[in-house]
Amino acid sequence: MGFESLHKKIEPIIISNTSHYGFNVLCIKLAPNNIKQTTKFIEEKWSEIAPDSPFDYFFLDDSFDYQYREDERLHGKAPYDVSKSCSDLISQVYANPDVYDMPITIARCANVFGPGDLNMSRIVPGTLEAIIRKKPLKIRSNGRLIREYIYVKDSIEGYISLAENLNQTKGQAFNLASNNVLSVMQVVNKISAALNVSVRTEILDQVQFEITEQFLDGSKIEKTIGWKATSNFEESIKETYNWYRQVLSS
């Protein structure tokens, strides 16, 4: 199944449409040769497995070259986005050697998850709460929005590494990426598989004006100071689940 990073080696897959996973989008990595024939084969198998479900597809790597890079112009549109852009630009001003020359570096994180996050409207806390309290998970979007997710321990280590290497990072922005590029439903399915428990979902499809795909290019920080995220998504989910179980059960 397509629950792995696009950066991992292509391996054999098994397609199954079961109520346990209840996926709306199935992501599959394909070898670059014979894509047309492979896609046709998958469509034929899909018709056998789920004849009542329509078959449609798109190629995620068509947009993979559009990862957010540090040198791209900040262009927030919603109030929250604009506030983030403002803090970023103000930090650049204070770090500018011709202005205040302060020891500042800028970290731009992927979506952070992990213990301590009590915003249950986020997909990871919301899914874990639904599992612990045995209730349906209400997904505000259509379940197909793609984001990148980074474990809180990785983000903290990234912050510390940037601070410890200010001689190389001062005044610059760095993306803290993880390669966990997943749709909303993929996140739910990966949590379900990691904890070996089913999750009942309700797709509300109420979200409007959201960016369809959003993820980061983390190559700059790795080239500059050698840092990259190392946490395993499934193990991180298990650690996070244990924390929520203690907090929500008390």
Catalytic-role residue among 21, 57, 68, 80: 80
Tell me the one-letter amino acid at 42.
I
DSSP string, 83-114: HHHHHHHHHHHHH-TTTT-----EEEE-EEES
Q: How many CB atoms lie within 10 A of CB 140?
A: 17
Residue 80 annotated to the active site: yes
Q: How far is CA 105 from the centre of its chain?
A: 23
Distance of CA 31 to the CA centre of its chain: 23
Residues acting as catalytic residues: 80
